[in-house]
Structure 1
Amino acid sequence: MTSIPDVAVTQNARTWTLGTSPWQRIPAIGAPRARVIIDNDFSGDPDDLYQLVHHLLSPNVDIRLVVASHLRDGDPFDSGPDTAENATRVVEDVFARMGLESTDVVTTGSNRPLADRTTPQPAPAVDAIVTEAMRDDDTPLFFVAGGGLTDLASAYLVEPRIAERMTVIWIGGLEHEGLAVPPPDAMPIEYNLLIDVVAGQVVFNDSGLAIWQVPRDVYRQCLVSDAELRLRVAATGPLGRYLYDEVARVVRRATGQGRGPAETYALGDSPLVLLTALRSLFEADSSSSRHVGMPTPAIADNGTYVPAPDARPMRVYTWVDTRLMFEDFYLKLQEFSAWQQSETLYPNQ
């Protein structure tokens, strides 16, 4: 339900490129220590807009690609059929609002899910993912996904060696037995997995990709209040107001359907930033959050897990540090918005 622009907004007068952070009066310390490929269904739930902006404002990661991926047919957020192209337009619109000129990193995924577990869906994003993964660079590479896994699965089918060269962080999948229980009236197949169950099977069942999973019970922990969004996001300026208004549209629609109102909203894609840009300095890891290790289960056609005791290990997060995650976002947005709106705040930049 994210607003899909007919024409991108006029680019902000203050411009910048990835790899710079001119809004910081005290320059960022050191170079990025991880590469990141962002993959999300940007024409869907606007929580991905918050994740995108937060990642773009985080100098500790080198954003190599932003993959605009598809939703399932008939999705209530965007019924399609060209949801990947719609997602691309949304990303380009966000870049323009931010004055970010690095549009070369934006690439479009497939509009369709996988037809089977051996045939990739061709798309510009698939080739770009393979190229980045196979590039001669020892910097750790994270593939962070807040939607379906079509383009990652296709890239693996095209070039299986990418499995040895990245870590996948995925927001999606059902609760694991013994760790959590489903919410009331839960979808039987978790929302992000439902976008492309076959792609999930390729990634979990068939590949050797290292997975850090943030399942449904954990991404539902990422609640913010309307008061936070009004005072810490909307009040910062045009970019913050845009982000707030996109969530408000969803809340109004849900209220009209008898599912609201509520004073909270789940920004469930934000752990993608927490687990990459906000890792610890010493013994670098997502040390303020909690996870368990387990053999990677297979995914059945109905979206449930099938135990695979001899499978490769994976991480399953059980709790994420929402204080660090959201406070960092609010402050970065405030700092960026102040710079963006003032020609005199930082006269030497």
Structure 2
Amino acid sequence: MVAPRMRVIIDNDFSGDPDDLFQLVHHVLSPSVEIPFVIGSHLSPTDPFDSSDVQAENAVRIARETLALLGREDDYPVLLGSNVALTSLDTPIRSEAAEAIVAEAMRDDTDLPLYVALGAGFTELASAFLIEPRIADRLTAIWIGGNEHEGLAEPPSGADQVEYNLNIDILAGQVVFNHSSIPVWQVPRNMYRQCLVSYAELEERVRPMGRIGAYMVEAIERVTGMAGRHGFEMGETYALGDSPLVLLTALQSAFQPDSSSSFHVTVPTPTVELDGSYTPNASGRPLRVYTQVDVRLMFEDLFLKLAAFHRANPAL
């Protein structure tokens, strides 16, 4: 029996790109992590995935729906984040989720290290820090997002100037990067774009795995269908870019626990500008930037856990 080695708060924009559903399911099926709660976060305004003004509320609903398909809806509280981004560098949004991050970080009844696994923007974590700055010494943020770093990678052809997740709440990114001392492990755009699965893999190793497998693949099919209606053919792969959140937590090494099968460099944390670019800051605190992730371990573990879950729960 595998016992939890860490606490992982899951914070994601579940009404957006369905890669977050794969991350949520994979984390829930990973016994080495204790999940205190899940946060439903907002997207950018008018995002094509969800252009409503209740994106966080929709994210909560979808996360609960996903957990219900696993029969785990009563095991994990799903908390509401803010529906909007920060409007100030020094004023938090006191959402249910931000307050819960503070409470979890300030616990003194557990020695399990705390990670905040962020597959979206920084609104809730930045607000939590503004509410209680002491949390910076009591957790590690793992973030899927941000532009490429000069000297490490080039942006893809036609890339948006501001990376998708950073653009959700640039002010919150500035709070975390520029004004806090929170340790950050960053999986920037060039890295999460490498997390590709083929549709052949999804058909063989995800769809047949009961209701949850079909649900996950159908969520991707809705995206490819929407793209096709707009004249964009997506080929035969899909990026499950939030999955490194599982790899870098649940799948750490046994001895000297760390994400030892993936590579990173440590650089001074740059200053995040309002246009999403970085300005070098030689005195910035150490920032862990991933330069290679173990895609084999990450996806093979997902597929095998889904298969084991389906064998154990054939009615689900």
State if a TM-score over 0.5 links the two structures: yes
Give the Cα separation in 2 of the matches to 1:145 and 1:233. 24
* 2:216 is the counterpart of 1:243: yes
TM-score, scaled to structure 1 = 0.89
- 1:135 and 1:185 mapped to 2: Cα distance? 45
Deviates most, 94-103 or 159-168 = 94-103
CA shift, 1:104, in A, is 4.8
Is contact 2:36–2:76 with CA below 8 Å preserved after alignment?
no
Aligned length: 315
- Determine whether 1:282 maps to 2:255: yes
Within the candidate set 79, 104, 107, 2:51 is matched to 79
Q: Distance in 1 between matches of 2:228 and 2:237?
A: 13
Aligned partners of 1:92 and 1:103 also within 8 Å: no
Task: Select 1:311's aligned residue among 279, 284, 292.
Answer: 284
Gaps of 5+ in 1: 1-27, 344-349
Q: C-alpha displacement at 1:215, in angstroms?
A: 0.0
Determine helix, strand or coil for the equivalent of 1:234. coil
1:201 corresponds in structure 2 to 174
Following TM superposition, the consecutive aligned residue runs of length 4 or more in structure 1 with deviations greater than 4 angstroms are none
Letter in 1 for 2:9: I
Deviations 1:240-285 (A, max 9, x none): 0110000011011112222214100000000000000000001111
1:153 aligns with 2:129: no
Are the counterparts in 2 of residues 47 and 267 from structure 1 also a CA contact under 8 Å? yes
- Does structure 1 residue 35 correspond to structure 2 residue 7? yes
The aligned counterpart of 1:131 is: 103
Secondary structure (helix, strand or coil) at the match of 2:25 reads helix
Aligned residue number for residue 169 of structure 1: 142
1:120 pairs with 2:92? yes
- How big is each residue's C-alpha offset from its partner over 1:183-217, in whole Å with a ceiling of 9 and x where there is no partner? 11101100000000000000000000000000000
Compute the displacement of 1:339 (Å): 1.5
Partner of residue 47, structure 1: 19
Percent of residue pairs bearing the same amino acid type:
57
User: What SS does the corresponding residue of 2:208 show, helix, strand or coil?
Assistant: helix
Q: Which has the larger radius of gyration?
A: 1
Would the aligned equivalents of 2:145 and 2:187 in 1 still touch at CA under 8 Å?
Answer: yes
1:253 equivalent in structure 2: 226
8 Å contact from structure 2 (residues 38, 76) kept in 1: no
Contact 2:196 2:238 in 1 (8 A): yes
Matching residue of 1:217: 190
Q: Does 1:269 align with 2:230?
A: no
Distance 1:40 1:187 in 2: 21
Given that residues 40 and 59 in structure 2 are in contact (C-alpha distance below 8 angstroms), is that contact kept between their aligned partners in structure 1?
Answer: yes
Give the CA RMSD over aligned residues: 1.1
2:117 equivalent to 1:144: yes
Q: CA deviation at 1:64?
A: 1.0
Contact 1:119 1:157 in 2 (8 A): yes
Q: Distance in 2 between matches of 1:131 and 1:261?
A: 42
Residue of structure 2 in register with 1:337 after alignment = 310
Deviation string, structure 1 residues 162-183 (Cα, Å, up to 9, x no partner): 0000000000000000110011
Q: After superposing the two structures, state which structure 1 stretch, 102-111 or 302-311, moved more.
A: 102-111
SS in 2 for 1:67: strand
Give me the TM-score of the superposition, normalised by structure 2. Answer: 0.98
Match of 1:292 among 249, 265, 268: 265
Q: How big is the shift at 1:338?
A: 1.8
1:66 equivalent to 2:38? Answer yes
CA 1:227 to 1:282, structure 2 compared with 1: closer, same or farther past 3 Å?
same
**Counterparts of 1:290 and 1:258 in 2: how far apart (Å)?**
37
Mapping of residues 82-121 of structure 1, within 5 Å? 82-121=54-93
**Counterpart amino acid of residue 186 in structure 1:** A
Give 1:121's aligned amino acid. Answer: I
Q: Which runs of 5+ in 2 are unaligned?
A: none
Take 1:337 and 1:304, find their aligned partners in 2: how far apart are those partners? 44
Q: Which amino acid aligns with 1:228?
A: E
* Aligned mates of 2:237, 2:312 — CA distance in 1: 29
Q: Distance in 2 between matches of 1:110 and 1:308?
A: 30
- Which is worse superposed, 259-268 or 159-168? 259-268
